[in-house]
Amino acid sequence: MDLSAALLRTALNATATVSPRAAGQGAFALFHRPVLRSRIRPDEREQHDRAVTEQLTVGAREVTSYRWGSGERPVLLVHGWRSRASRFAPMIPRLQALGLSPVAFDAPGHGDSGGRTTTILDYREVIGRLHDRYGPFEAVVAHSLGAAGAFLALREGVKAGRVVTIAGVAEYGFLVEAFRVQLGLGRWAGPELERRVAEVLAAGRDRADFDPVHRPGDFDFPMLAVHDRDDRVVLPGQADLFRAAYGERLQLLTTEGLGHSRILAEPTVLDHVAGFLAAE
């Protein structure tokens, strides 16, 4: 943990002894601030530069979206936390070979988009805007936190024929607990962060709607969940929750030794995803 994170941890834990509510507000503000922006990697540059880019305005922030191909038969790609659309570069040629048009975006505070913070509601808003322009989607492919944002959008009207999650988050509360542990916050942080999520983000909707595994009967599309046994960011148990919720409607592909990020570029994973999307 770097010095700034250690100082934040100390300050928030000290504040919590006097006012857990005030500490929770501070933790909530940090929870939605990526801080670091991922850069385009050299092996992503060619696909990134081939994309047609457009700008969307979301909450006074300029969001950069990307399209490869004509826009016909669109497949939406949704990146995760502290990531960016270019991480899907290895997947783009395979999707285009199937006659599909990949569509992606950098969430606010990520990649080439403006802003310094982002929430699951921002993901939902951007996905909805792209759905208005290109949808319905033939499929959605979402990585990590992107799965939670994608399922919220699907729950609220976005249409897709198939869904693939890669190292996907099944329960939004998992993110809260992982953040608490990573920053070294006391046990007070979980309840306070959850309270703020319900108060500020849920805003009248069922807080459980943020969980992709909530009310699985709301969805009727085929699903593929890909997860690595050695993922230390989104633990493999999240994939088990997807399987328990969706049963035979969901194919589960487990890998080993790829972790949380390398799984996005593994050729055998990409082949499996392409095969799933090509199936009748």
Q: What is the 3-state secondary structure (H, E, C) of 98-158?
A: CCCEEEEECCCCCCCCCCCCCCHHHHHHHHHHHHHHHCCEEEEEEECHHHHHHHHHHHCCC
Are residue 21 and residue 135 in the same domain, yes or no? no
Are residue 6 and residue 104 in the same domain, yes or no? no
Where residue 160 sits, what CATH number does that domain have? 3.40.50.1820
Helices (H) and strands (E) in the chain — how many of each? 10, 8
Are residue 98 and residue 195 in the same domain, yes or no? no
170: exposed, middle or buried (C-beta count within 10 Å: 0-12, 13-18, 19+)?
buried
**Global confidence as pTM:** 0.92
CB count within 10 Å of CB 139 equals 24
pLDDT > 90: what percent of the chain? 71
| Geometric angle at alpha carbon 121, from 180 and 6, rounded to 5° | 25
Residue 235 has pLDDT above 70, yes or no: yes
Domain count, the chain: 2
**113 in Cβ contact with 62 (< 8 Å):** yes
DSSP-derived 3-state class of residue 69:
coil
- Condensed to tens digits (0 to 9), the pLDDT of residues 17-26 reads 766 777 777 7
- Condensed to tens digits (0 to 9), the pLDDT of residues 14-60 reads 776 766 777 777 777 777 888 788 999 999 999 999 999 999 998 88
User: CA–CA separation, 183 vs 45, rounded Å?
Assistant: 33
Q: Mark which of 162, 183, 209 sits at the end of a domain.
A: 209
Are residue 166 and residue 191 in the same domain, yes or no? no
CB count within 10 Å of CB 176 equals 21
- Condensed to tens digits (0 to 9), the pLDDT of residues 125-163 reads 999 999 999 989 999 999 999 999 999 999 999 999 999
Are residue 83 and residue 141 in the same domain, yes or no? yes
Residue appearing with tokens 């108060």: 199
User: CA–CA separation, 112 vs 259, rounded Å?
Assistant: 25
Closest CA to 174 of 195, 154, 145, 196: 145
Are residue 134 and residue 226 in the same domain, yes or no? yes
Which domain range does residue 7 map to? Answer: 1-31+173-209
Are residue 147 and residue 262 in the same domain, yes or no? yes
Closest CA to 119 of 54, 32, 183, 30: 32
> Both tokens of residue 108?
């606010």
Are residue 242 and residue 257 in the same domain, yes or no? yes
Mean pLDDT of the chain: 90
